[in-house]
Each structure stands twice: as structure tokens, then as C-alpha cells.
Amino acid sequence: MNWLDLALYLLIYSFLGWCAEVLYYAVTKRRFCNRGFLTLPFLLSYGGAFDLLILTLPALAGHYALQFLFTMAIVSVVESFSNHLNSRLGPKVNWGGERPRVLGGSMRGLAFSAAVAACFYITYLVVHPLLLGLTTLVPDLAKKILVWVLFALMAADFFGVLYTLRTGGVQAYERREARSSEGRIARRLTAAVWRRLQKAYPGIREMSPEEQEIYPFAKGVCLDKLVWVFLTSALLGDVIETFWCGLVNGHWMSRSSVLYGPFSFVWGLGAVVLTVTLQGLAHRDSFFVFAAGFFIGGTYEYMCSVFTELVFGTVFWDYSHMPLNIGGRTNMLFCFFWGVLAVFWIKIIYPWMSRLIEKFPALAGKIMTWAVVAIMVCNGLLTCAAMLRYNTRVIQPEPNNSFEEFLDRQYGDDFIQRRWPNMIATEKST
């Protein structure tokens, strides 16, 4: 599966998901309703979830119950992130009520998410093989043209909707037009987008000035807070894992995910996933948090293993020797640990960490946050380049350009093997 095919399936299933939602509302509400964030007929949350299924489920072929549980976990996590992004992209907009979710802890939400997951899984088993056969008949050039054109249109559509939400909707434009010669085209486009959103989300409205008051730094589950949750958890996770391996194996080794600094991206991203997806369960009994953490944490660890193998051609952990393992990528014991960690995280650790982060001065906090983002992005990109060069150096020892020459000199095989002693190159990468 290459990136072009994944992009194509993202578009196909985003469109099919949009059609399914339109049909659902046509039957239940007796009217047409475009429920997408975009004006174009695409629901990217559906396409993104299907791409994750396409990457994950083949390794579990034949284990139908396990595949369904993975599907339900993936769909629930993608849905949570989608709802979270919607609320954050429109800071001046109240979106109204939400539909029931499994991660809200209600039985209605559980039944709803189980039904949605069943639809996804049946589509994966029955429809996807047929689409796989049809897409192989399409020339790669036609695929590239289609993908690039549609992604360009979606990008323009996205920025148009984002502009509308960020400026407060059609009411804000009417007020500004009364004071100045605001462009008519921009106002008409914004009015059209806003009317479409009002039909799709009947409870949506522009927030009052009082509701738009200036909040303290990193109020709620926002990007600023998630950056510090990621950074802190990545640091603590690396320290914990280093000491754990030292005590269990009797020798110390690096457990960092990046070239510079003691940071484990797996732990950092895991904390972000638990924070965003399990907030709806914070008020519920610990059993619900444990059960959700058990499945979501195990699915997350499995997908991290799949990702590193597909992208970098490497395996960083292998649990094949442990009982009740799932393809060697995770196991029931570690899923249990994820469940326990979820309880401690949502009930104890995150509330304390959240209050501490919100005490940062607003201006200094913003500057520090974006400085951290810039440094970690550069660190991550350089790490990816060093890993990819490490794998290609086996079949192509001589560098092709000055950048590869720098990577060979600065991050040679000895350096990489010391930094990630457990990393194993797969046969595909060599």
C-alpha cells in the first residue's frame, strides 16, 4: 500500500461517508443535510478512519472478533478527535449539541458507536476488496491528477470555512459592512457557508462577546495544553521506560524516539490520545475508563508498531515471545497496563497537570509553546531522515547528495545502533 493509494482511498471513503450521513439524515429528519465541515461532499473523518483500518486490519486476518474491536477503537478515537477539532477551529462559534458517543460513557453512545463500527467493518470486508480491484485498473497518472486536484479544492474549501468560523459568521460581516466597505464577494461567500452550517448544525450560533472572553493560558483541552502534555509525557515516559528496562534486563539503554533529548514520542502521543478521547469519561466510574483505556491503548500501541514498520522499515519492539500477544505488536498484559494507566491519567495525573499548565503566564506560555513545537518538529524531521538513510545505506552506501553525506557523517551506523539498540530492520527495508 503506497501513499497514492492511501490518498485515493481517503477521498473515496470520505465521499462514501458523506453519502451515508446524507442518507441517514434524509431518512430520520426528512431533509437534505450536508453534515461535513467542508462544503464539498467529503467527511474526512470517515476517510481517515478507513485508511487506519486498511493499514491495521490485514495483520489480524482471520481474527474477526479482534478486528471488530480494533475497528470500534479506531472509529471512536477518530470521532473524538474530529469533534475536538471542530470545537477548536471555531473559537467564536457554539456548535450546539453533539450526537451520542461511546467515549461519553452512556449505553446509547456505546450502541451508536458499535453500530457505526459494524458498518465500517462490513464495508471493509465486503466493499473494500471490490474497490481494491477497481482502483488497480486506474493508471497512476490519473490517480495523481485526481488526488492533487481534489486535495487542492478541499484545501480552498477548508480555508473558506475556517475564515467564516474565525470571523464569527455572517452576523459579524453584516456589522463590519455597516462600518466599512467590506468586500461583497467575501461577505456573500461567508454568508453561504454560514447558512449551510446552520442547516447542518441547528444549534450552531455565534458566541456573544461575554462568551468570547479572554481565557487563561491553555484553558481546556487546547493545542497549547496538548503540546505540554505531549512534551512532559514524552520525557517522563522515556525516563520510566529507561529505568524499567535497566531493572528488568540488567543493563541501561536509550529508549528515546528522537536523535536529541530523552523524549519518547510513543508515550507523548499516547498521553494526547488518552486526553482527547477519554475526557468524556472523567466523571464516570473507573471501570469505564479502564475498559476504554484497555482497548484504545492496545490499539494505539499496535498502530505505532505498524506505522514504524511501514514508514521506516524498522521494528522497535516485538512481543512474539510473550503469551496472548497480538501479532507481536502488543499483548493482553500491556493492554491491561494501558487500562490502569488510563485510570490514573484521567482521574489523577491529567487534572493536576492541567491546572499546573494553566498557571503559565499567557504571553510567555505562547512563546515557549511555539518554540517547543519548532524545536521538536525539527528534531523529529531530522530523526526521520537519519532512520531512512540508515535503512538505505545497506543497499546504497554512497551518498547521492550533500545532505546524505551529512547524515552519514553525523549519524552513522554506530550512532544509530547506540541510540536505538532494539531497532530491527525488516526484510522489506533491506
pLDDT digits (tens, 9 = 90+) for 66-87: 888 888 888 888 887 777 776 6
Q: Of 143, 171, 206, which one is at a domain's C-terminal end?
A: 206
Residues 265 and 141 in one domain: no
Residues 326 and 410 in one domain: yes
Averaged over 279-301, what is the pLDDT? Answer: 84
Residues 84 and 37 in one domain: yes
Question: Looking at the predicted structure, is the pLDDT value of residue 430 above 50?
Answer: no
Residues 10 and 107 in one domain: yes
Residues 309 and 393 in one domain: yes
Residue 398 grid cell: 554512497
Is residue 149 very low, low, confident or very high in pLDDT (cuts 50, 70, 90)?
A: very high
What is the C-alpha to C-alpha distance for residues 128 and 312, in angstroms, rounded to an integer?
Answer: 26
Residue 215 located in a structural domain: no
Residue 306 located in a structural domain: yes
Q: Of 180, 206, 232, which one is at a domain's C-terminal end?
A: 206
Contact, 231 vs 374, CB < 8 A?
A: no
Residue 200 located in a structural domain: yes
Averaged over 197-225, what is the pLDDT? Answer: 67
Residue 157 located in a structural domain: yes
Q: Is 226 exposed, middle or buried (0-12, 13-18, 19+ CB in 10 A)?
A: buried
Number of domains in the chain: 2
Residues 270 and 307 in one domain: yes
Is residue 215 very low, low, confident or very high in pLDDT (cuts 50, 70, 90)?
A: low
Question: Looking at the predicted structure, is the pLDDT value of residue 213 above 60?
Answer: no
Question: Which DSSP category does 223 fall into?
Answer: H
Averaged over 144-149, what is the pLDDT? Answer: 92
Residues 166 and 248 in one domain: no
CA-based nearest residue to 59, from 405, 318, 329: 329
Question: Looking at the predicted structure, is the pLDDT value of residue 6 above 50?
Answer: yes
Place of cell 545532505: 403
Residue 217 located in a structural domain: no
Residues 141 and 16 in one domain: yes
Q: What pLDDT sits at residue 96?
A: 55
Backbone angles phi, psi at 331, to 5 degrees: -155, 170
Quick check: pTM over 0.85? Answer: no
Residues 390 and 296 in one domain: yes
Residue 8 is part of which domain span? 3-206
Residue 105 located in a structural domain: yes
Q: Of 165, 181, 206, which one is at a domain's C-terminal end?
A: 206
Q: Give the up-direction half-sphere exposure of residue 211: CA atoms within 13 A in the CB hemisphere.
A: 10
What is the C-alpha to C-alpha distance for residues 43 and 211, in angstroms, rounded to an integer?
Answer: 29
Question: Looking at the predicted structure, is the pLDDT value of residue 172 above 70?
Answer: no
